[in-house]
Structure 1
Amino acid sequence: MSFSSEHRHDANAPQPEPAAPAVSNSDAQTSSISSPLKRKLPPPEKPEHVTRRSFVVASFWAIVLFLGLPIWWKTTTIYRAQLPLNQMVDWADGKACNPVFPTRIGINAPALRDEEIQNLIHITERTLDTLNDFPGHRLQFEVSRSANVQTDDLIHDSNNALTVRLSPGDTTSSFLHTSAPVLEITYPPNSIPPSGATTSDFATYLAAQLRETFAEERDVMSYLFATSSMPSERRPQGPPRDVASSLSKRMTRSLKYSGTYHLTFSLFTSGPVPSSWDIDSAIDEYMKPILDMLRPIHNFTIDTQVQLYATPGVQSQVLSKEDLSSFINAAEWPLSPSIGGAPTVNFIVFIGNQTIGSLSETGTSQSWLIPQWGSAYLLPPPSTDHVSSELLKQPVLTFTSHLLSLLGTPQSGPLPMRLSTLTRIRSADLLLRASSSLGSLARLSLALPSISIPSSVADGVAKSMYHLQLACSNLGGTVGLEHARIAEAEAERAFFEKSMVGQLYFPDEHKIAVYLPLLGPVGVPLFIGLLNQIKAWKNARKEKAKTA
């Protein structure tokens, strides 16, 4: 029996595997969503890599902290020299110096015995102490042993501000000479207090005469201290309101004190003539004696000039008081500038047809005083092209009077006594100015901690305080005036130091605006790197704690 080939079957042949059931697309998508996603983690860092990164971050921070910050601090810090702030404030408040201006008074009384003179001086001093409303002005008496001198042959000790000559007479009277600081007082013989007496009408009269003689100086002194920067509880009572108003005008008119002034004498004419003048001989004859008397207080340099075809600022022939301020046109009248840094005082003689229609406060019908500037004098055209010294006598004498006013010289009393008073007034003014500048500098230093204080400022403050102490110990004479002048100059130089004043216009807001754009890009990576290292260090400690 035979079988067909289609039905042959090898039992030993491998059988095919059954086919997998078909899966639809929707079933596969559901299976992939339902199974969890496993994130592939980075391989663990080797310990040497972690250590290297820590060293890199630490090295950056070490460079910033130990190299960058010191260099930045050294190059950007503001140098502030040490200032004696407490002492500077004490000077400004009047605590470091009790200014007393001793005024020496010589008593010449040949007809009195020593006991009578000493007792008279003692009673007079006690009377002055009860009447004195300004303790800084103190009269010191000394007995002069010169013989009795006639009135026409005055003897005066230059070291004394005033000499009081007591002479017996029928009545009590007094007379102050105009050419010398000598006060003549006559007294009845029975008016002299005996030894042991405590009161005397004649001593009261003598004290009243001395107070009247030095009334202007006392008023000026009290006005300077009353208007100073001292605290109100330390300032003395000022003069009456009307006197204070008059003194204020005088102070505004006068020039600021300087050891040297430059005097410029100018001849201005509206035409070609006159073209020459004898100004040198007129100055030597009429002004030089006053300049020599002022030499212990001021030095003077002089120059002269002639300006032809000089047109005044006002064309009218009759000048009113309002026209005087614009008469001198600085743009058209070339005036000499300050020479050597000294302030210039201008004296102008103008030859033309102008006249002053009304009297001014500080001038005559031909001249007027220009506050803090100088003086001008109008002269009619001369008959020749040369101005002689005789024609210049009155202008130069007027200029001399105006110069004394510009320098702040008192107006009453003989000229030597007025110059002695000027020395004490200028000493007080400079002492107060220097003290005020030191106080302002101390307050500025405390109010602006970021302001620069160079070493030159500290040196100037030290020099100023040194000379202030010497001036306070020698008030009343030219020695104290010179020390006060140096102290005021050093204090002003320290306060207006250029390198220090420039810091006032660089506030802290500018520094923030400069540094923020630099600190942002540099600081953010450093801080992020440091935070990451701190975080990694904490995680390492936790893992170590788990495995332990």
Structure 2
Amino acid sequence: MSTDTPHPAPRPLTKTPAEITASINPSPRRRLAIILSFPLLILLAVPFWWYTTSIERLPLPESRISALEGANYTAPRAHILFTADSSAFPTPPPGRRQFDTKDILRSLGKEVTKGVDGIFAKQKPSERDVRQWDLVYEGDKEAIGAILRVHIRTWEYANSSFPLEPYVQLPETGLMTSGIPAGTLVLPVHPDQVGDRNLKLHYKIALINSILSVYPPRSPEIPLRALKYAPNITLSFVLLNEDATQGDYVHSWDIEGTIKDHFLPHLEALRPIFNFTIESQILYHAPLSFAPSYSEIPGGERDKALDASVDVINSMPDHSQKVSMEAAVKVMEDERGNKAWMINREQMTIFVNSEKWSLDSAQAFLLPQFGGVVILNPPLTSFQSHSYHLSRTALAPAFHLFTQHLYSLLALPSLPYTPNKLHVPPPPSPFHRPSSLMQPLSPWQVHQALLARLEENFQEGKKTLKGIVRLVRKIGEMKVGEGVRDTVLGAVIRLENVQAFVLARDAVELANKAFFDPSMMGLLYFPDEHKFAVYTPLFAPIAVPLIIGLLRELLSRRKRGKAVEYTEKSQSDHVTLNEIQEGAVHGIATSQVDINEKEKTMESSGDSLSDNSPLRTIRSRVIPGET
């Protein structure tokens, strides 16, 4: 006997497959709404995308930039303070009017400016220079803060014969300076010359020649080896040691004291032009592939090096540089003696990569627009030890060369010592030797350097602005926002009104800032072609299913519409047939006119009879001859 409970009978299906499918799938209207929601969302995001990716191109002041191309800036006029000792002019005889020194200087100053203008007037119109300075006198408002000075000095040690010998006063003080500020252009006159009847003419000639020497009508050009102007410059002093594991290395050096002696006097004068940052470090490098030997210098090489040194000294225009160079060479000879580190010719040719070399030329070299390198031989007292300290005396020759390198890299002018125009200044004291250090820059040299950098910045600013305009014209999709436009406009305004070094410096800075603006540089690295190349693979896989689904839904709705239309027509035909049949049952005959009216009614409603329509069948029976 089985104890299994009987299974309940299966429930009959209450829904057809079509109803089940309809309950699972959304309705056609809802399915269409879902499909259309995706492109609708994209359309709603188009304004935001357009706003975030649109290219803003504000107009640049192209006409004003074009006007700057052929324009020349107006250099600021310098004020030269003109002073003199009261004893530099003869005393009038009794009964004659006694003029003040200031009145005499004004009269002499007019003659000097008139003579300079006459010299420039004789030049060709296309090459004619313009005087960019004026003489001012004590008590004038323009004399306040004047850094350029000219002074006529009565000096008993001056040359007692004409012509006069003007010079620029050294910064060192002593018995011979008589309290004259450093950098003053001095015209020394002997007391015996004061009574000369042609003294005024000699003053005029000496003043014109000396002022045109220290203040030329055109600023000096910036050589290619010089650094491009930058307001902030870092001076990095690096001591390179060979591998310290082999011994004989420098463990310390008196860098602070050496910089104070050799560099600070020169850097202090350049504060209106540059901002300097000084740093120092000691580094180590791998040893050379060959080992120099410390041995006697051959006589021929020694004479060759001395001849080269003499040629270099004689070629220097600055007397103070000659004196300092001679002292540096003498110090090196005293310290080194007849011995030096020797390298054979083949190794030296490979090392310097040149067949023309000498002991002097291999000692130091200049890297254009970068810096200088000096090969320093260790002191003689350090040969017995493995590490040593470099004192100020040991660093003096190297830093003397570094100072010359600094002048070359910054394009600093030197005083043009020429006969009958500008002479070498006398020593500050007859009891002390002249300093072996290079003399600091005079205000005349600083002013010339400032004018040269002013011209450089003016030309660089025009060139950069012109490049911006050309670049914006060439690349039509480049963005020119409000920040770029304001920066360019600020540079143009400063160049139009440039009469000071600060304006030219700021103009170049603004022009470079606009040229390298991130909003403009972005299009150069990510143009529109790159955007399409990135967006197409990203959105194509998403867009294709949406488009296909939308097309399928439209086709499906079209089929469903035709099916509903066919069903409605069939129902209308059946109603008409039923009316005709009922009329036949009740004895009412259906005429041809009635059938025609039914057809017109359907045609007026936009319907037409199908081939298998019951009405068409009845019509064929009533109207004979129609098939």
TM-score (norm 2): 0.51
- In 1, Cα distance between equivalents of 2:82 and 2:150: 6
Q: CA offsets per residue over residues 126-176 of structure 1, 9 Å max, x none?
A: 324315645466232224589xxxxxxxxx997243525377975233332
1:498 to 498, 518, 528: 518
Q: How does 1:284-295 map to 2 (within 5 A)?
A: 284-295=260-271
1:167-246 mapped onto 2 (5 Å cutoff): 170-177=161-168, 179=170, 180-184=183-187, 189-191=196-198, 203=204, 206-215=207-216, 218=218, 220=220, 223=221
Structure 1 residue 80: Cα displacement: 1.2
Distance in 1, Cα, partners of 2:392 & 2:146: 36
Superposition deviation, residue 79 in structure 1: 0.9
Does residue 298 of the first structure (1) align with residue 274 of the second (2)? yes
Code of the residue aligned with 1:161 in structure 2: it is: L
Structure 1 residues 177 and 447: CA distance shift in structure 2, 3 A: same
Which one has the largest radius of gyration? 2
Report what 1:433 is aligned to.
460
> How far off is 1:365 after superposition?
5.6
Q: Distance in 2 between matches of 1:364 and 1:158?
A: 45
- For residues 42-441 of structure 1, the aligned pairs below 5 Å read 74=51, 76-91=53-68, 93-95=69-71, 98-109=73-84, 110=86, 111=89, 113=104, 116-131=107-122, 133=127, 135=129, 138-143=132-137, 159-163=146-150, 165=152, 170-177=161-168, 179=170, 180-184=183-187, 189-191=196-198, 203=204, 206-215=207-216, 218=218, 220=220, 223=221, 251-270=223-242, 271-308=247-284, 310-311=286-287, 353=341, 366-382=363-379, 383-384=381-382, 385-413=388-416, 415-416=441-442, 417-441=444-468
Residue equivalent to 2:6:
none
Question: Aligned partner of 1:497: which letter?
Answer: D
Question: 2:278, 2:478 → 1: CA distance?
Answer: 43
Query: Which digits, 9 at most, give the CA deviation of each residue in 1:440-470, with x for residues without a partner?
Result: 2123223333211122212321332344355
Partner residue in 2 for 1:328:
none
C-alpha change, 1:122 and 1:218, in structure 2 (3 Å) is closer
Counterpart pick for 2:474 among 442, 447, 458? 447
Q: Tell me, in whole angstroms, the C-alpha distance in 2 between the residues paired with 1:469 and 1:510.
A: 40
Change (3 A) 1:190 1:166: farther
For residue 291 of structure 1, report the CA deviation from its aligned partner. Answer: 1.9
Give the superposition deviation at 1:84: 1.9
Aligned-residue identity in percent: 24
Tell me how far apart the structure 1 counterparts of residues 209 and 446 of structure 2 sit (CA, whole Å): 22
Go from structure 1 to structure 2 and tell me whether the alpha carbon gap of 1:121 and 1:108 turns closer, same or farther (over 3 Å shift): same
Distance 2:133 2:357 in 1: 37
3-state secondary structure, aligned to 2:278:
strand
Change over 3 Å in CA distance of 1:390–1:310 after alignment to 2: farther
Whether contact under 8 Å (1:316, 1:354) holds in the other structure is: yes
Q: Identify if the C-alpha distance between structure 1 residues 514 and 451 changes in structure 2 by more than 3 Å, giving closer, same or farther.
A: same
Q: Which amino acid aligns with 1:138?
A: Q
C-alpha distance in structure 1 between counterparts of 2:466 and 2:63, whole Å: 9
Q: Which stretch shows the higher mean deviation, 500-509 or 122-131?
A: 500-509
Q: CA–CA distance in 2 between the matches of 1:513 and 1:360?
A: 58
Distance 1:380 1:514, change over 3 A: closer
Amino acid in structure 2 at the alignment position of 1:266:
V
- Matched residue SS, 2:117: helix
Which of residues 484, 489, 513 is equivalent to 1:462? 489
Unaligned runs of at least 5 residues, structure 1: 1-62, 147-155, 194-199, 224-246, 321-350, 476-480, 527-548
Distance 1:121 1:354, change over 3 A: same
Q: 1:94 to 1:263 in 2, by over 3 A?
A: same
Q: How has the CA–CA distance of structure 1 residues 102 and 360 changed in structure 2, closer, same or farther, with 3 Å as cutoff?
A: farther
List per-residue Cα deviations over 1:33-70 (Å, max 9, x = no partner). Answer: xxxxxxxxxxxxxxxxxxxxxxxxxxxxxx9xx98986
Query: Structure 2: which 5+ runs fail to align?
Result: 1-39, 90-100, 171-182, 295-300, 302-335, 350-354, 383-387, 417-438, 552-627
Write out aligned runs for 1:30-49 (5 A).
Answer: none
Distance in 2 (CA, whole Å) between partners of 1:314 and 1:502 is 50
Given that residues 166 and 187 in structure 2 are in contact (C-alpha distance below 8 angstroms), is that contact kept between their aligned partners in structure 1?
A: yes
SS in 1 for 2:111: helix
SS of equivalent to 1:173: coil
- Structure 1: how far apart are the matches of 2:151 and 2:289? 52
Please tell me whether the aligned partners of residues 173 and 185 of structure 1 are also in contact (alpha carbons under 8 angstroms).
Answer: yes
Q: How far does the alpha carbon of each residue in 1:96-115 deviate from its partner, in whole angstroms, 9 at most, with x for none?
A: x6322423333335527256
Letter paired with 2:398:
P
Judge conservation of contact 2:116–2:131 (CA < 8 Å) in 1.
no
Please give the secondary structure, in 2, of the residue aligned with 1:108: strand
1:492 Cα deviation after fit: 0.3
Work out the CA distance in 2 between the residues paired with 1:281 and 1:256.
Answer: 29
Mean CA deviation greater in 407-416 or 513-522: 513-522
**Cα RMSD for the two superposed structures:** 4.7
Deviation at 1:406, TM superposition (A): 1.0
Counterparts of 1:114 and 1:425 in 2: how far apart (Å)? 30
Which residue of the partner structure matches residue 484 of structure 1? 504
CA distance in 1, matches of 2:49, 2:397: 71
Q: Which moved more, 1:410-419 or 1:136-145?
A: 136-145
For residues 267 and 457 of structure 1, what CA distance do their matches in structure 2 show? 44
Paired with 1:290 and 1:398, the residues of 2 have a C-alpha distance of 14
Structure 1 pair 121/497, CA: closer, same or farther in 2 (3 Å)?
same
Post-superposition Cα deviations, 1:227-258, rounded to whole Å, max 9, x if no partner, equal: xxxxxxxxxxxxxxxxxxxx6xxx21111222
How far apart in 2 are the matches of 1:313 and 1:158?
Answer: 59
What's 2:306 paired with?
Answer: none
CA contact (8 A) 2:234 2:278 kept: yes
Q: Give the drift of 1:503.
A: 2.1
- Structure 2 CA distance, aligned partners of 1:514 and 1:273? 58
CA distance in 1, matches of 2:128, 2:291: 51
Offset of residue 509 of structure 1: 6.7
CA-to-partner distance for each residue in 1:156-214, whole Å, 9 max, x for gaps? Answer: 99724352537797523333236224142768844467xxxxxx797566434433443
| 1:66-124 Cα distance to aligned partner (Å, 9 max, x none) | 98986775454311133222222222x144x6322423333335527256325413422
- Once the two structures are superposed, residues 339-384 of structure 1 have per-residue CA deviations (whole angstroms, 9 ceiling, x without a partner) of xxxxxxxxxxxx99468899989x8563222211211122222223
* Counterpart Cα distance in 2 of 1:372 and 1:314: 30
